[in-house]
Structures are given as structure tokens and as C-alpha cells.
Amino acid sequence: MTTTAPDRTGRSCNADEVIVVGGGIGGLTTALALARGGRPVLVLERADAFTEIGAGLQLAPNATRVLDRLGVLERVVAAGVLPRRLVFHSALSGRELTHLDLGDACRERYGGPYVVLHRSDLLAILVDACRAAGVALENGRHVVSVTDEPDRAVVTCADGAAYEGALAVGADGLRSGVRSRFSDDEPVCSGYVAYRGAVPMEQVSGAGELHDVRVWFGPGLHLVQYPLRTGSLFNQVAVFRSPRHAAGDTEWGTPDELDEVFSATCAQVREAVPALWRHMRWPMYDREPLDTWAAGRTVLLGDAAHPMLQYLAQGACQAIEDAVALVRALDGAAGGLGAALKTYEEQRVPRTTRVQRTARVWGDIWHVEGVAALLRDELFVQRRPDDHRHVDWLYGTAAG
């Protein structure tokens, strides 16, 4: 499949083309799904290269089923790790509280594996697949506006280049410019900050036994650990509530706060903190759910539509679900583009709203203090490992 190249002003002249604004995981998965269905697609990415900042990424079965249908799951599994279990520990005592099997039983129940991999590896796989499918990819394109005309969407960049197509998909992340067509809201700061780091596995004590996704939670903090790149790297993410943010300090979430907050944790957690990157930190934001994602010939997707806190590890997974839901709606609607986008919105808004809100609650559960923490730990200990009622709605085949 080929697409019409932009002329010297940057204007794409293919009236059937779908223009995807944003070349992250959601945007590229959407482009791939569209191209697999025979649609011409152009992806406009603001950065000079298709890259992901960060380290690890968790893909639950609701996402890997989609990647399997798109023909890239085999490469994803080869680049990542299939963990045995998701294990929850007390960050104060080190005690194991409960676990969820992520192995063969999980795959059989949900129709897809649970995979952990490096973000940049997934992005590279999607870029390669998009190129092979004929998707046009352009970097260095800072989109400043998306407007509708009766028969086309017009996407304009900061340098004046303009592109026309049948549909514009806003997949431009947490601080989406396309979202401003639908809401004047701003990202909501949680007061928490994340520090990440991935180190060679041979530098990790007990590396031979580290085959699980492990979560250690305590008062206002948690640590997540899992292997990457076929077990050659060990990924760690430490998150904490910043006392300085709560006090109104503009300099908050600093490395010295990280050390201070985690100083009260057990030895296993304290030993992980020095390996975290200190030159970069990630304040944690989400946004309030939107009721409307589509207007005219413009539609939102992924973090542009539903940015969420990370506690369910579903940000990328929900964007991947969005991609196939949008293409399915476009393929199946008999009432034209407006009806297709309405169908997509009706299918996705309730689900992603539930995930967004549940992620907030899950974070609250992880970070409680005092008697509430004692009660939480007891409930976790009493849970049967084969009890799936809290994840069936999220991972199950009805999800995507």
C-alpha cells in the first residue's frame, strides 16, 4: 500500500488518509491496525525520532491479545520476559502478602500472556511493523491545530505545514494539544513522583530467582521490580508522596526526599534505591475522565483521551485497546464516520473511565498508613491465590 506524499508545503493530498497525531505506543498501534485494514495512514510525531523515555512496561493479556491479532506478539515476547507471578509485599516488613499467577494458567484463562519489556523495544517493534504495512511516518512535526472542514480534517504544524485527511486521531499524550478541542482541563498532579532505573541483572543480588513482578508497598510509597530484555536487565520504579509538594514547595520530589522517605523500609527495598536514576524523575499526573472524545472528523485516543495513574499498569494497555476498538468501529458502522466515532466513544469511555478511577483507588489502597495498612495487609494475606474476581473485568476476553 502506498500513500500520497506531502507536497513541498507539507500538505498531504490523500482524501482517504487517516492522520495520527503522536507516534507513541497508542498512535503507532492505531496506525498499524488501520494499515492492516487497508487504510492509508500518516503519523506525525513531534520528536525528532520515535523514542520512549523510561524503562519497563507491563502488558497484560487484554493488550497482548490485541498485539497477537496485529501480528507482532511473537516479537514482543521474544524481546521481553514472561513473568511467573505478580507478588505483593509489605515494604516495611518485607512479608509476602499475596500473589497472582501470571504463567500458563493466566494465559489459558485470559487468552494471552502477561509480558514485561522495555518501552523502547515495543516502540521499535511497532515502528518496524508500521513501515512494513505502508504507514507514512514523519518526525519533527509539532502539530498546533486540528480543524474540520465538511469533507476533511486539516492538521497544521508549527512550521506552517498542513495535512488533509479523512480523519485526525489525537494520540499526543498527557498534555495533548488535540484534547483542547474537547476540554480546557489541565493535568491533575497526584503529589507523587516516580524514579526509575534499569541495571544489568548480574549487578542484582539473588538475580537468578528474580522471575516475578514484585510490588512492595508502604505508607505513601511503593517499589515495583521485574526483569527486562530476556532477563538481562532488572527494572525498578520507586514512587512516593512528596512531603514538600504537600507543603506547597515548588522544589519537590527531589532525590534527597526519595532517600528520606524510603529510609524506613525493609532491607530489600532500601537496597534497591541507590540503583535508581537520579538525574530524571517523573511527577505523576492523570486527568479527569472525559465524556466526549469525538467531534466532526477528530477523535482522541490513549493518554490524550484518558491519562491514568500507573497503579493498574494499564496506560499502554488501554491505548492498545483503543486502537482496535476505533478500527473496528470504522469498519463496522453503516451510518458513516459520525456513527463510527460515536460507536467507538460509547464502547471505550465507560471502560477507560472505570480504569482511571480504579487506578486512583488502587493507589490509595497501596499507600494507606496505620490501622488501615494493617487491615489491608490482613485482607491481602487472606486472599486465595486463585481468586481472580478483581482482575477478570480488566484482563478478561470481554475487555478487548
Known catalytic residues?
Answer: 226
Distance between CA atoms of residues 369 and 219, nearest Å: 5
Count of beta carbons in the 10 Å neighbourhood of residue 398: 9
Distance between CA atoms of residues 271 and 255, nearest Å: 15
CB proximity list for 295: less than 8 A, separation 6 or greater = 148, 181, 182
At residue 216, the 3 state secondary structure works out as strand
E runs forming strands in 78-174 = 85-90, 96-101, 115-118, 136-138, 143-149, 152-157, 162-165, 167-170
At residue 100, the 3 state secondary structure works out as strand
Distance between CA atoms of residues 352 and 59, nearest Å: 16
Using alpha carbons, select from 190, 244, 222 the residue that is nearest to residue 367: 222
Using alpha carbons, select from 360, 24, 10 the residue that is nearest to residue 169: 24
Residue 331 contacts residue 37 (beta carbons within 8 Å) = yes
Helix (H) or strand (E) holding 10: none
